[in-house]
Amino acid sequence: SQGKINVRKFKSEEDVAVALANYTANLSEKYIKEKGSFSCVLSGGTLIDTLRKLVQPPYSKKVDWSKWLIFWLDERVVPLDDPLSNYKLALDGFLSKVPIPKKNIYPIKYYKSAKKVALYYETRLKKLVHKKIIPLSSTGFPKFDLFLNGVGPDGHVASLFPNRPQRYEKKRWVTFITDSPKPPPPRITFTFPVINSGSHVAMVVTDAAEANAVAIALGVLPEPKPTLPCAEVKGKEETTWFLDKDAASKLN
């Protein structure tokens, strides 16, 4: 069973950033109280900029960063210091500004082969589940506390694109793509079974280019067949869409 869907619309991108900081800080507090840690899965793209309020007071002071665990929803297969790396994006815009212990940050290990990077990341997650650092969901997949997802204009989420088979993966935790329509072509990505085993999922969209995809995912515009990947995201506890005026412009 999946949790409820919330749609939160804001006047501006700035208001989304404030609401997202509040929401993330509150979840961090809740999970650290309940289970002693908070696992957060980051995407790339504009999300990292939208998270900017979280690393500023009052939120930055309220969060117990020492208990955070950071993972990547998807990653470009490039060295970690490459300007295209999602890890580098997160490090520069977010992680370098808060005291998360280095050992709690789980970037990919870079190899030339995307397949090898995916296998290595999956093995790493399996070890963390084995050590009970990340719990195993009743679904048989790891259970992360919070996913922070962006959405692309074509309705992709993570590196799960329409017209690519990775979106249908049912067994693997992490898979790879070598012909991503969004550059660069080689990437790794969490699969749908992992995303939809997560407790809370935030869909953060602040651009008019994604307004159609948002309206399709929320049932306002007719769904294509097969539907868009972003329409298939559902967290176990809840899925919350954070939308600015532009992203919500096709909703009514």
Cα 55 from Cα 45, distance rounded (Å): 18
Among 44, 142, 229, 235, binds ligand 6PG (CB under 6 A): 44
- Note if the bond before 226 is cis, omega within 30 degrees: yes
DSSP state of 211: H
Cα 139 from Cα 201, distance rounded (Å): 16
Helical (H) or strand (E) element with 17 = helix 13-35
Supply the minimum distance, in Å, between the C-beta of residue 94 and ligand 6PG: 14
Among 45, 93, 162, 181, binds ligand 6PG (CB under 6 A): 45
Among 43, 196, 197, 199, binds ligand 6PG (CB under 6 A): 43
Identify which range of 63-71, 149-157, 166-174, 233-241 contacts ligand 6PG by CB under 6 A.
149-157
Task: Provide the 10 A C-beta neighbour count for residue 93.
Answer: 16
Question: Is residue 74 near ligand 6PG by the rule CB under 6 A?
Answer: yes
Question: Is residue 152 near ligand 6PG by the rule CB under 6 A?
Answer: yes
Find how far residue 131's CA is from the centre of its chain: 23
Stretch 172-191: interaction string toward ligand 6PG, x if CB under 6 A? ----------x---------
Residues that bind ligand 6PG (CB under 6 A): 43-47, 74, 76, 86, 150-152, 158-159, 182
